[in-house]
Amino acid sequence: MRNSKLTAEQKRWQKKFGDRLKELIHGRGYQSIYDFWINSGISDHVSRSYLNYLTNGERDPRLYLIRILAKTLGTKVSVLIDFD
């Protein structure tokens, strides 16, 4: 779903998810999103551009990808999505 068709709440959720994802990536010692993409093995599951869209709050991730991101970051899915 493109951002132009999203409600304000959906856009807010995507932004919060992206912010949380960036926080966790940097908290695990990665210097950048690219560093995470290259060195964590996540590149086998998501393209670099899509990861950038996610961290910038421009895409709504699929549940399967959230699970992979959580596992790669060594955390639970709930840590990625519980930000209200």
Distances (CA, A) of 33 to 5, 9, 11, 77: 27, 25, 21, 19
Crossing angle (nearest 10°) for helices 63-73 and 8-27: 20
- pLDDT higher than threshold 60 for residue 2: no
- Please check whether residue 60 lies inside any domain of the structure: yes
For position 40, which CATH number holds? 1.10.260.40
Q: Do 61 and 10 meet the contact criterion of CB atoms below 8 Å apart?
A: no
- Please check whether residue 2 lies inside any domain of the structure: no
pLDDT in tens, 7-30: 899 999 999 999 999 999 999 999
DSSP 26-47: HHTT-SSHHHHHHHSSGGGTS-
CA distance 1 to 6: 7
- pLDDT higher than threshold 80 for residue 3: no
- pLDDT higher than threshold 90 for residue 63: yes
User: Smallest Cα–Cα separation from 12: which of 44, 43, 58?
Assistant: 58
- Please check whether residue 61 lies inside any domain of the structure: yes
- Please check whether residue 33 lies inside any domain of the structure: yes
- Please check whether residue 1 lies inside any domain of the structure: no
- Please check whether residue 50 lies inside any domain of the structure: yes
The pTM score is 0.90
Number of domains in the chain: 1
pLDDT in tens, 47-56: 999 999 999 9
For the residues 30-41, what does the mean pLDDT come to?
Answer: 97
Q: Which domain holds residue 49?
A: 7-81
